Structure 1
Amino acid sequence: MPTKRHTLSILGGLALAGGMLLTSAAQAADQPRVKLATSMGDIVVELNPEKAPKTVANFLQYVNDKFYDGTIFHRVIGNFMIQGGGFTPDMQQKPARSPIPLEANNGLKNNTYTIAMARTAVPDSATAQFFINVQNNDSLNAPNPDGHGYAVFGKVVSGNDVVDKIKAVQTGNAGPHQNVPKTPVIIKSATVVK
């Protein structure tokens, strides 16, 4: 026959487990998802505002402003990454907002199917452009050889096959730009879906 203490221990354990489940559910609810509807299919990314709050807020602002609609994946390196979010199909760069602080040292890694912010050699230079890693790119993690790294802020949760199709397209040069898809891969729209 269970004692009062034993019953209280069981109830306490159940309450703790229930609280952990609620916390996990709340954290999942706080991770917005964005659908990139591309000319090759849909990619859904789940963002991590807990680890990269400024980067996620910046990306979502561009999404909500419809900035990415009609841009392309302008740089595709099949054994590295696919980069987009800054150029139109005729390779005109869109004017972006001010750069954001680098959040590369957040514990997230540039692993296959993660999304990260593109930047110049200057650490705090990321604006609108992003890339999706198509392999584990440890050299991009903080601190990387330049001492900084690239800020991962989410991961692909649907559309890995689309990423794989994009990474396999034929590329060439377009003016001063290298690794440009010969047939534009257009981001028709970017929308928050959760």
Structure 2
Amino acid sequence: MTRRVAMTMTLAATLVAGPALAQDAPKVKFTTTAGDIVVEVYPDKAPKTVENFLQYVKDKHYDGTVFHRVIDNFMIQGGGYEPNFNEKKTRPPVMHEGAAAFGKGLKNEAGMLAMARTNNPNSATAQFFINVKDNAFLDPTLRQDGYTVFGKVVGGMDVVNKIKAMPTGAGGPFPSDVPKTAVVITSATLVK
């Protein structure tokens, strides 16, 4: 067998295996008052982040929380507050894996799921956001830690787009960007 044929066969096997790996990715269904959103997450690219997120799903942490920060042409954020703006208790923060996930191809692009955090890169707990456009400025660089991307929307992007277009204003402790009509995550369940 020539080297070129061997390389071609290896490439073909990789291409066939690639989609199979994505099919094995865990999926979570968010049932919301605006419709259903299904995300798949990648433990092979951001293992600690995915483990953390899935534990919150299993603990039913997201049930009854709202998308409390919605910015059209940027992202929708949720997973931390109840409709009355009580912040839900969380576990200690997860280690930041932004650079590692980025190095494995995960970027803050439209439809990608990432961890929300404060200015401290190691402060992410339960809150997440879904990018509604390509936000390369959130990716890790030599000068910034960026935000850890760990999954993507595989169903219900129309619901994400509906949420991002909702009128927003002040609400609870937030001076802006809160949907005027609450979008509640009624349940988050592992579907695969």
Classify the TM-score, shorter chain.
0.7 to 0.9
CA distance in 2: counterparts of 1:169 and 1:135, whole angstroms = 16
**How many percent of aligned residue pairs carry the same amino acid?**
56
Q: Which runs of 5+ in 1 are unaligned?
A: none
Query: Which residue of the partner structure matches residue 49 of structure 1?
Result: 43
Q: Cα 1:51–1:174, aligned 2, differ >3 Å: closer, same or farther?
A: same
Match of 1:131 in 2: 129
Seen in structure 2, the aligned counterparts of structure 1 residues 86 and 144 have a Cα distance that, compared at 3 Å, is farther
Within 1, Cα distance between the matches of 2:142 and 2:74? 16
Give the letter aligned to residue 179 of structure 1. Answer: D
Output the CA distance in 1 between the equivalents of 2:191 and 2:107. Answer: 24
Separation in 2, partners of 1:35, 1:104: 24
Aligned partner of 1:94 among 88, 98, 103: 88
Deviation at 1:52, TM superposition (A): 0.6
* Partner of residue 165, structure 1: 162
Aligned length: 186
Deviations 1:18-71 (A, max 9, x none): 964774365234311100111000000011111111111110000011000000
Deviations 1:83-137 (A, max 9, x none): 0000000111001000011111122110001000000000100000000001100
2:114 counterpart residue number: 116
Question: Could you say which structure has the larger radius of gyration?
Answer: 1
- Runs of 4+ in structure 1 over 3 Å off: 15-26
State TM-score, norm by structure 2: 0.88
One-letter amino acid of the structure 2 residue matched with residue 153 of structure 1:
F
TM-score (norm 1): 0.87
List per-residue Cα deviations over 1:114-166 (Å, max 9, x = no partner): 00000000010000000000110011000275x10000001101101000000
Question: Match for residue 60 of structure 2?
Answer: 66
RMSD (CA atoms): 2.3
Match of 2:146 among 149, 152, 177: 149
Q: Does 1:182 align with 2:176?
A: no
**1:39 — aligned with what?**
33
> In 1, are the aligned partners of 2:67 and 2:76 still within 8 Å (CA)?
yes
Using the alignment, how far apart are the partners of 2:55 and 2:66 within structure 1? 18
**SS of residue in 2 equivalent to 1:96:** coil
Are residues 77 and 103 of structure 1, via their aligned partners in 2, closer, same or farther at CA, if it must alter by over 3 Å?
Answer: same
Task: Note the C-alpha offset of 1:175.
Answer: 3.6
SS for the counterpart of 1:155 is strand
C-alpha separation between the residues in 2 aligned to 1:160 and 1:26? Answer: 22
Gaps of 5+ in 2: none
